[in-house]
Every structure is written in structure tokens, then in C-alpha cells.
Amino acid sequence: MLIIKFCPRIIIIQLFIPMKSQNKKKSDRRKFLRNSLALSTTAFLGAGCATGCSSPDVNSSGEKVKVMTTDGKLAEIDPAHLHHLTHHKISSEEARLGDPNKEYVMVIDLAKCRNARKCVEECQRMHFLPPEDEWIKVFLMKDSEDTASYWFPKPCFHCNSPSCVNVCPVGATFKRLDGLVLIDNERCIGCKFCMTACPYSSRVFQWKEPEHKISEDVKFSPETSVPHQIGTVGKCDFCPDMARVGKLPMCVTACPNGVLYYGDKKEDAVSNGVETVRFSELIYEKAGYRYMEELGTNPSVYYLPPVNRLFHPETGFKNLSEEVESRYEVARSKIKKEIK
Amino acid sequence: MENTDRTSALLERFVPQMTRSTRLEKILVIVCGLLFIWGLYAFVLQVAKGHSITGMRDNVVWGIYIVNFIFFIGISYAGALISGILYLLKVEWRKPIIRIAEIITVISTILGPIYILLCMGRLDRLDHLLIYGRIQSPITWDVIAITTYLIGSMIFLFLATVPDFAILRDSNNPMLGKWRKRFYRFFAIGYDNSEKQRRLLKQGTTIVSIVIIPLAVLVHSVLSWIFGMTLRPGWHSTIFAPYFVVAAVYSGTGVLIIAMWAFRKFYHLEDYLKEIHFKYLGIILLVLGALYGYFTFSEYLTGWYGSEKWELHLIYKLFDRNEFGPMFVYAAFIGVLVPILIIAIPKTRTINGITIASAVVVTAMWVKRYIIIIPTLQTPLLPMQDSRADYVHYSITWVEWALTFSGIAVFFLFFYFSSKFVPIIPISEHVESDDPEPGSSLNKNLNNQ
């Protein structure tokens, strides 16, 4: 059974693929990616396109594949049409290069975050991460004695001067033209130098054999970051595979408060799934900044200061598991002194 | 070449030692062998189960494997000091200790990098270092520097041993078996002590000893840069390279003195390794201790006085009694002051006293490496909001201890077997001098000073 990370819907879709076509895909990784991306594209574009695009020159095999449309209906289409819609062939060379016409950025509005932890959970679900591995973390910050506490979601900063990339002895972690810092887990030797070099603790190590269940057919890609491999380093990848199909990363869409904005700096647009705004205007109006600018790492993640906050930091402790709540014990004791 | 009577007399002295083992030696070999097997078991377990059975976690990603790595590369400086610097300065008293020093260098330069391998998540991808190697990474610099250094040290050890191999090859001593003879014939590479060969050998040795000094300095500098190049409190320091180099020579001299003490005692080499050797090396140790203390003071004073947030955070942890306080006191105060005092006071400046001082130095230098690596990794720039105790505080597991002790055991074994193949005191050096008694050339030399 093929399972890929894009969307729960895709997983359902792939259940309906006849076994015959599935076996064919086993051998070739690129072909697999192409097919699965084609499938996902089809699904996102909706049944209207899939059924409407039938061109006469396609040799119809008579075989039908069921796909699910965006409104949840099943539709039968010819497998040949799926190949027609292929436009995302991601070779490993391509995955290392990225799109030169893009520059991915994220803007995080600290005024809206209340530690709902949906970003963490969705990220874990999409990347088949165990509960203890978090690629996006939420910290309870307090910069100094007399300043206010605030919730601080932190993905990988995808720095433009990345320390981690500099120190990698084998080029397993690399910087792309579109600004992303990704990891090739098939090349990583597990020296952990990048983990010590990253000043933002963004990287996690696969200390034991990964427990998630992904089919062996799924071949690793730096763009999907799955399947994980023991003894290698993982981290937030800014979901370039989602961007390829015009979707926002799961952390962005999962957030109930629209805290996270994701977009392309060259296009000057970022979106939190609800509203799409001009990146430069957002940064200008809300005085956006980058965390620890003084380190000179040039992050691609911008923060909007926690002013006129929608929630009191204490709100962040609602519905937390005991384990998560215990993490913030020390930081929480400091909130109590603040004015409510 | 025919061995002279004096050579034969010297061989008579050393061959029994090389061919027979005392009961103590046998016990040592068995104990070290068992430790090695224990380490091997731990290693197999680590490969099978992954690094989760070590104490390393996402914050402290490097544990005592890296500590051991720096430690072993550090003690390799014993050879660089003796063979390089003392050779070039034509210091005569170095002659009896030259082989012990060079063997320490070669063994520890082989052992050190093994700890890097133990720390690697994917040993099976070692070839990636060659296939995808990037010269921008300090790890690549390290690989290049250490291999060059190892080759240089091996050449030096070999060149210094060739005359002894020749002597052993030409010996008629019946205790040397057939396979040994074959071994010596192979490694003597046809050396017959002719004028020309002697000149060439001397030239070669001089060249290697010149090359080995900058190489040794580079190896530890590059090693320090693995830490110095990161943006971490306690690591991102400009004096890290000289600091590491000084600490390395300091610990190397300490190990050398301990090795000398052990060989002197168990091989009864009192007439070769004299008190004066210990005293001279002791004084070198004292100077290095002062230098190391100076660097330590400079490093922490600037950090504390400048009081940058993260730097200060780290220094407070180092001085905190409940965190790294005891270790810091041992590495930065006891490890400097106690050896200096022992050696400075004439009454305690004895062979045993200096050896105790060296033991303090060597252990303090191991602890020093620990408090360089672990506290910094436990002080990330972002808060560690984690409920998992093992992710917040590093604690060494038995696997890591097993592999550490196994490494020390291999060090002993290697040393022991080396002393069974070649005389631990270079015979040729004593033949060359025209004195009737072994070691008396040394006395004369030392008395003149």
C-alpha cells in the first residue's frame, strides 16, 4: 500500500488504485513520485478536470481508477489521463536545486499564538513523526525579568547563511535556490555536526529505528523528508512538496488562529490560509523582525512582535497533556507575576 | 653487519623482556582483552539498536565519544614533543624515551578517530566522506589533518626503529624465533648501518621531525575549530586553537611520564630511564601547566567580564556546585595547581611525585574535555523546554563507558605488544655513543648541564 504525506485524502485515493498498476510503480522512484503527484494534482484540481480532460489521442485501456474529488465524491477516470497531468517530476538533482524564481518565507504572528499545538500535531502526522519528535516547537518565552511572556512557535528558520550547511562534511544538508535548507537522508552520515552548528536547536536525530509505518515502496526524497532513516538528522522542511502542488504547509493550515503565514518573498505574498497579504506590507505595518538577527544567519522566518495579544499566555495551558504541560513548568511560574 | 659485543650485551638485556611475559603481564593482557571484548559487545549492540542506547540525545548530540576523541588526539602530542621539538633542539636526554613517546603518538592517533566513528549515526556510509566530501567542512579538514599526521608519525616511528630492526635481524640470540627473524628482516629494509645509509636515515628523520611539528599543531587546531566555528557559547572562541594545542601537549607529556614510570618499574629500566628524565619532563610539564592555566584564566575571564548573556549562563553552570562545579574545579584549578606545586617543591619532585602529578594532569585533561563539550551542548540558545530528563541532562550509559574503557585497554594492549616486538629503549642510540656502559652517555650529558 502506498502512503504519501500530502493529504489524508490522497491516502484514501491510493487505496483504490488497482494492484496491477501499483506493482509497476515499485521499481522506479521517479515514476512513483510522478504518479503520486499526478494523482494528488488530479485530486486537488477536482473531478471536473479529471473527467473533462479526456483527449482523444490517449489509448484508453478500459481500466478505471477511482479518485476522490475535493468535495468528497468518488470519480472514475482512465489511468492514462493521470499521466497526462504530470508536471512535477522531482529528480534528486531538482530536489537539490529548487525553483530559482521563488524565495520561500514564513511570517509568524506572535500576537495570535496561544499554544494550540495544532501546527505541531499536524506536522507530526504529515511527516510520520513520533510524538516526541517535533519539527516545529512551541516555546514559552520570556526575554527578561520585566518583559512579558509569549508563545513562540519555531520551525526551521531556513537561514540564508546557514551554519548547518557550512559544516556538513558530505553536503547532505544543502541550501536551495528557493531558500530552503533540506536534508538528503540518503547521504547523511549522522555526524551531528549540523546539530551543534544550528544555533536554534532546529534539528532532531533519528536515535532508533523509525516506528512509523510507511510502505517500503515510498522512496525517500529531500522534499518529503520521509521515510526517516535511523542514524540521520531530520528537521522542518517547509513542505516544498506541498508548495509544488500549490498547497500551504500543514502547520499553516492547521493553525486555528492563523498565526503562521507562508509564501514567496519574490511574489511578495504570504498566506495563513485565511487571508493572503503582501509580505513587505505585513512586515512594515507590524514591525516584523527576525529572531536573533545578531547571529548573522539571515533566517527566512520573520516574527511579528507579540503586541495587542489576542490571548493571555495562560490560555496556552488549556487542553495540554500532562507531559507537554510539565515542559513549561519553569517558564510558567514566571507568568504568574505578570499583570493579568 | 656484524653486531658488536656491546650490541650483543644490550640485546641480552632486552631480548628476554621481548620474548617472555611475566605473570603480571599476562594478567594485564587478559584484563585488557576482556575489557576489549566488553567494548566490542557494546559496539555491536550500539550498531544493532542505534544510538538510543547511548546517553546522547538531541541537545547533547556529542557525548564522551568526542571527549575521548579529543583526549586521545591530545595525548598523541607526546611524540610530537619528543620526536619533533626535542629532536630538533638536539636534546640528548630524549634518546631513551623517544620510542615510548612515538608509540604513544601512533596508538592514540589510531584510537582517537575510532571514537569519531562510534559517534557517527551511519557507519555504513563512511565512504560518503570520499564520494561527497566537502572541503568547506571542518570535519573534512580534520580527516585530512589526522591521516597526514598519522602517516607522518608512523614514518617517524619506523625510521627511528629501522636500526634496531637491523640489530635484531643480525642477532644470534637463540631466543629470537624464526618468525621474529623474518619479521625483523622485512622491516629492517636492508639496513646495514653503512655511512651512506646512516646519513640518509638522519636526513629523513630530520625532515619528518620538522614536518611533524606544524602537522601536530594543525591537527589540534583543526580539532578545536570543529567547536570554534559554531555559534555556541563556550565554543565560539578565537583562542580555542592554541588553547587546545597547549592542553594537548600538557596531557601528552603527562601520559609519557606515566608510561615511562610503568616501563621503568615493570621492565626494570632504572639505568635507562633515570630520575633526571622525569625531572626534565616534569619541568616541561610545569611550564605547560602554567601555560594551560593562563589560557584557561584568559578564556573564562573574558567570557565572565564581557558577560554576554549565553556566555554568562554557561559560566554560571560551570561554577554551580550542583551542575559542573566539581568537574570545573578539578579541571581548571586542581589540574593546574597541584601538578605545578608537586613539581615546584624540590621535596616532592621525585619520580613518584612527578608521576602522581602526571596522573592528575591526564585525568584533569579528560575532565576538561568533558566540560568543554557537555555544558555547552546543554546550554542551547533557545530554552530547553522538554519533559524528558535524558534530553535535558546528559548521563553516560554503560555502553559509552564500555567503549571508553575498551579504548584504554586497547591502548595498553597495543603498547604491550609493541614492546614485545621492539626494545622499548632504542638500542641503536646507545650503541652509537662510545661509552662503555649503557646509558652512561646520558649521565655525562646530564652532568654537564
Chain A nearest C-alpha distance from B378 (Å): 11
**C-alpha A88, offset from chain centre:** 18
Chain A nearest C-alpha distance from B223 (Å): 13
B91: exposed, middle or buried (C-beta count within 10 Å: 0-12, 13-18, 19+)?
A: middle
Q: Cβ separation of A292 and B381 shorter than 8 Å? A: yes
Candidates B215, B243, B216, B246; CA nearest to B227 is B243
Instruction: Report DSSP state, residue A313.
Output: G
Are residues B383 and B17 in contact, defined by beta-carbon separation less than 8 angstroms?
A: no
pLDDT at A236: 95
pLDDT at A216: 72
> What residues 299-328 of chain A have any CB closer than 8 A to a CB of chain B?
323-324, 326-328
Partnered with residue A260 across adjacent β-strands are: A108
Instruction: Report DSSP state, residue A148.
Output: P
Are residues B354 and B343 in contact, defined by beta-carbon separation less than 8 angstroms?
A: yes
Q: Cβ separation of B230 and A230 shorter than 8 Å? A: no
Phi-psi region of B229 (alpha: psi -120 to 50; beta: other; left: phi over 0): alpha
* Residue A15 sits at the chain B interface (C-beta within 8 Å): no
pLDDT at A339: 64
- Render pLDDT for B210-252 as a digit per residue (tens, 0 to 9): 888 899 999 999 999 999 999 999 999 999 999 999 999 999 9
| A166: three-class secondary structure by DSSP | helix
> What residues 197-236 of chain A have any CB closer than 8 A to a CB of chain B?
197, 199-201, 203-209, 229-233
Tell me how far CA of residue B122 lies from CA of A131, A147, A183, A274, B57, in angstroms.
Answer: 24, 44, 15, 43, 16
Q: Cβ separation of A189 and B122 shorter than 8 Å? A: yes
Residues of B with CB below 8 A from A169's CB? 129, 133-134, 137, 139-140, 143
Own/partner contacts of B80-86, CB < 8 Å, gap of 24 or more, are B80/B105, B80/B153, B80/B212, B80/B213, B80/B215, B80/B216, B80/B249, B80/B252, B81/B249, B81/B252, B81/B253, B81/B256, B81/B284, B82/B256, B83/B156, B83/B160, B83/B209, B83/B212, B84/B209, B84/B210, B84/B212, B84/B213, B84/B216, B85/B213
pLDDT at A340: 57
Q: How many CB atoms lie within 10 A of CB B330?
A: 19
Interface mutation target, options B52, B126, B231, chain A, most CBs of A under 10 Å: B231
A215/A230 Cα distance (integer angstroms): 16
Are residues B148 and B109 in contact, defined by beta-carbon separation less than 8 angstroms?
A: no
What's the average model confidence in pLDDT over B266-282? 88
Candidates B418, B426, B429, B409; CA nearest to B18 is B418
Chain B nearest C-alpha distance from A136 (Å): 13
Interface mutation target, options B45, B46, B47, B51, chain A, most CBs of A under 10 Å: B51
pLDDT at A59: 54
| A305: three-class secondary structure by DSSP | coil
**Cell numbers at residue B310, please?**
549565553
Question: What does pLDDT average to over chain B?
Answer: 89
| A277: three-class secondary structure by DSSP | strand
**Consecutive 10-residue runs of chain A (340 residues): their mean pLDDT?**
39 37 42 44 37 42 63 65 48 86 95 94 91 92 90 96 94 94 94 94 92 76 89 94 90 94 95 94 96 94 93 89 90 76
∠ CA A118-A33-B123, rounded to 5°: 80
B371/B363 Cα distance (integer angstroms): 13
Report for A47-51, A264-268, B95-99, B388-392: range of highest mean pLDDT: A264-268
Of A132, A191, A199, the CB nearest to B388: A132
Q: With pLDDT > 90 as the criterion, what percentage of chain B qualifies?
A: 62
Domains with residue ranges and CATH for chain A: 8-90 (no CATH), 98-304 (3.30.70.20)
* Residue A245 sits at the chain B interface (C-beta within 8 Å): no
Residues of A with CB below 8 A from B121's CB? 188-192, 205-206, 230-233
Tell me how far CA of residue A28 lies from CA of A33, A34, A70, A185, in angstroms.
Answer: 9, 10, 28, 18
**What amino acid is encoded at A71 in this protein?**
D
Residues 6+ apart with CB under 8 A from B433: B441
Of B58, B59, B387, the CB nearest to A323: B387
**Would you say the C-alpha torsion A41, A44, A47, A49 has a positive or negative sign?**
negative
User: pLDDT-based confidence at B433, cuts 50/70/90?
Assistant: low
pLDDT at B171 exceeding the cut of 60: yes
Return the CATH fold of B5-383+390-427. Answer: Formate dehydrogenase/DMSO reductase fold (1.20.1630)
- With helix as H, strand as E and coil as C, how does A44-63 read? HHCHHHHHHCCCCCCCCCCC
* Cis amide linkage into residue A130, ω under 30° from 0: no
Q: Cβ separation of B121 and A231 shorter than 8 Å? A: yes
B195/B205 Cα distance (integer angstroms): 15
- With helix as H, strand as E and coil as C, how does chain B read? CCCCHHHHHHHHHHHHHHHCCCHHHHHHHHHHHHHHHHHHHHHHHHHHHCHHHCCCCCCCCCCHHHHHHHHHHHHCHHHHHHHHHHHHCCCHHHHHHHHHHHHHHHHHHHHHHHHHHHHCCCHHHCCHHHHCCCCCCHHHHHHHHHHHHHHHHHHHHHHHHHHHHHHHHHCCCCCCCHHHHHHHHHHCCCCCCCHHHHHHHHHHHHHHHHHHHHHHHHHHHHHHHHHHCCCCCCCCCCCHHHHHHHHHHHHHHHHHHHHHHHHHHHCCCCCCCCHHHHHHHHHHHHHHHHHHHHHHHHHHHHHHHHCCHHHHHHHHHHHCCCCCHHHHHHHHHHHHHHHHHHHHCCCCCCHHHHHHHHHHHHHHHHHHHHHHHHHHHCCCCCCCCCCCHHHHCCCCCHHHHHHHHHHHHHHHHHHHHHHHHCCCCCHHHHHHCCCCCCCHHHHHHHHHC
Q: Which residue has the cell 509568524?
A: A108
Q: Which residue has the cell 511570517?
A: A107
A39/B237 Cα distance (integer angstroms): 53
What's the average model confidence in pLDDT over B51-77? 93
**What amino acid is encoded at B14 in this protein?**
F
pLDDT at B434 exceeding the cut of 50: no
Candidates A84, A12, A105, A20; CA nearest to A301 is A105
Q: Cβ separation of B120 and A139 shorter than 8 Å? A: no
Q: Cβ separation of B132 and A172 shorter than 8 Å? A: yes
Query: What residues in chain B have their Cβ under 8 A from chain A's Cβ atoms?
Result: 49-52, 56-59, 61-62, 116, 119-122, 125-126, 128-129, 131-134, 136-140, 143, 226-227, 229-232, 377, 380-388
Chain A nearest C-alpha distance from B6 (Å): 54
**Cell numbers at residue B423, please?**
626494545
pLDDT at A318: 87
Q: Cβ separation of A190 and B120 shorter than 8 Å? A: yes
* Residue A44 sits at the chain B interface (C-beta within 8 Å): no
Interface mutation target, options A170, A208, A220, A320, chain B, most CBs of B under 10 Å: A170
Q: How many CB atoms lie within 10 A of CB B25?
A: 16
pLDDT at B141: 94
B313/B298 Cα distance (integer angstroms): 18
For residue B118, give the chain A residue with the closest CA: A191
For residue B141, give the chain A residue with the closest CA: A169
Q: Cβ separation of B137 and A189 shorter than 8 Å? A: no
**Would you kindly state where each structural domain of chain B is located, as residue ranges?**
5-383+390-427
∠ CA B73-B74-B76, rounded to 5°: 65
The angle that helices B98-119 and B64-75 make with each other, rounded to 10 degrees, is 160
- Render pLDDT for B294-326 as a digit per residue (tens, 0 to 9): 999 999 999 999 888 899 999 999 999 999 999
Number of Cβ pairs closer than 8 Å across A and B?
137
User: pLDDT-based confidence at B423, cuts 50/70/90?
Assistant: confident
B257/B275 Cα distance (integer angstroms): 11
- Output the furthest CA–CA distance in chain B (Å, rounded): 75
Residues of A with CB below 8 A from B226's CB? 193
For residue A186, give the chain B residue with the closest CA: B125
What's the average model confidence in pLDDT over B179-189? 88
ipTM of the complex: 0.89
B407/B417 Cα distance (integer angstroms): 15
Residues of A with CB below 8 A from B122's CB? 188-190, 229, 231-232
pLDDT at A120: 94
Please tell me the least confidently modeled range out of A8-22, A251-265, B329-343, B355-369: A8-22
pLDDT at A29: 44
Q: Cβ separation of A204 and B58 shorter than 8 Å? A: yes
Q: Cβ separation of B122 and A139 shorter than 8 Å? A: no
Q: Which stretches of A186-319 are DSSP H helices?
A: 193-197, 240-244, 250-254, 279-285
Chain B nearest C-alpha distance from A208 (Å): 5
Question: Quick check: pTM over 0.95?
Answer: no
Residues of A with CB below 8 A from B314's CB? none
pLDDT at B338 exceeding the cut of 90: yes
Strand (E) or helix (H) holding A151: strand A149-154
For residue B49, give the chain A residue with the closest CA: A208
Of B50, B137, B385, the CB nearest to A328: B385
Q: Cβ separation of A132 and B61 shorter than 8 Å? A: no
